[in-house]
Amino acid sequence: MKRILTLSLVTVATVMSTANAVMAQTTTPARECRTMGGTANLAYLDAKSGAGAMTGDFEGGVYFRMIGEPRQLPNGRVEMDFEHLFVTKDGSTLRTRDKSWGIRVPGSDAVLGGAAYTVVEATGDFKGKQGTFNSWGAFDSTKGQAVLRYEGQICR
Please report, in tens digits, the pLDDT of each residue of the chain (156 residues total). Answer: 554 434 443 443 443 444 445 444 555 567 899 888 999 999 999 989 999 999 998 899 999 999 999 999 998 999 999 999 999 999 999 999 999 999 999 999 899 999 999 999 999 999 999 999 999 999 998 899 999 999 999 999
* Residues near 58 by beta carbon (within 8 Å), at least 6 away in sequence: 36, 38, 86, 88, 150
Residues 5 and 56 in one domain: no
Q: For residue 5, what is the enclosing H or E element?
A: helix 2-27
Residues 91 and 20 in one domain: no
Residues 25 and 63 in one domain: no
Residues 64 and 116 in one domain: yes
Residues 74 and 130 in one domain: yes
Q: What is the pTM (predicted TM-score) of this model?
A: 0.79
Residues 20 and 58 in one domain: no
The answer for 60, left when phi > 0, alpha when psi is -120 to 50, beta otherwise, is left
Strands 93-104 and 132-140, how do they pair? unpaired
**Distance in angstroms (rounded) separating the CA atoms of residues 114 and 101:** 6
Q: Structural domain tally of the chain?
A: 2
**Distance in angstroms (rounded) separating the CA atoms of residues 109 and 44:** 15
**Distance in angstroms (rounded) separating the CA atoms of residues 16 and 152:** 38
Q: Note the pLDDT tens digit of each residue in 10-48.
A: 443 443 444 445 444 555 567 899 888 999 999 999 989
Residues 73 and 150 in one domain: yes
Domain that holds residue 17: 1-30
Residues 64 and 7 in one domain: no
- Output the domain CATH number for residue 57: 2.40.160.20
Residues 23 and 47 in one domain: no
